[in-house]
Amino acid sequence: MAVVPRRLPDIFVALDPGPGPAEIAEQQSLVAEALVPMAKRDQAAFVMLAAGWTSGEIARVLGVARNTLDARISRARKAARAWRTL
């Protein structure tokens, strides 16, 4: 027997309207600041990964080997952590 997902009642949707325009702008600003210390090629990999792309997809699109991509993402994460601790 298949499980059919149910739609949440509208009351639950109304309780969490999500971020407003000011919060979205602030989040975008923080992300932009975190990307500054990263190399451009590392930024691309980091943003694509954060957007939900798989490592295989990113490597294919950027035209790099998987281990090269892993190194770029590792550098990007280190840069983001260093920026966050400032």
CATH number for the domain spanning 58: value is 1.10.10.10
Q: Is residue 34 part of a domain?
A: yes
Give 42-57 pLDDT, tens digit per residue: 999 988 988 899 999 9
Q: Where does residue 70 rank: exposed (0-12), middle (13-18), buried (19+ CB within 10 A)? A: middle
Domain that holds residue 76: 24-84
Residue 68: predicted pLDDT: 95
pTM: 0.63
Instruction: Give the 3-state secondary structure percentages of the chain, helix then strand then coil, rounded to 5.
Output: 70, 0, 30
Give the residue-averaged pLDDT of 29-54.
88
Q: Is residue 9 part of a domain?
A: no
The yes-or-no verdict on residue 8 having pLDDT over 80 is no
The yes-or-no verdict on residue 9 having pLDDT over 70 is no
Q: Which residue has the higher pLDDT, 79 or 69?
A: 69
Instruction: Please state the domain count of the chain.
Output: 1
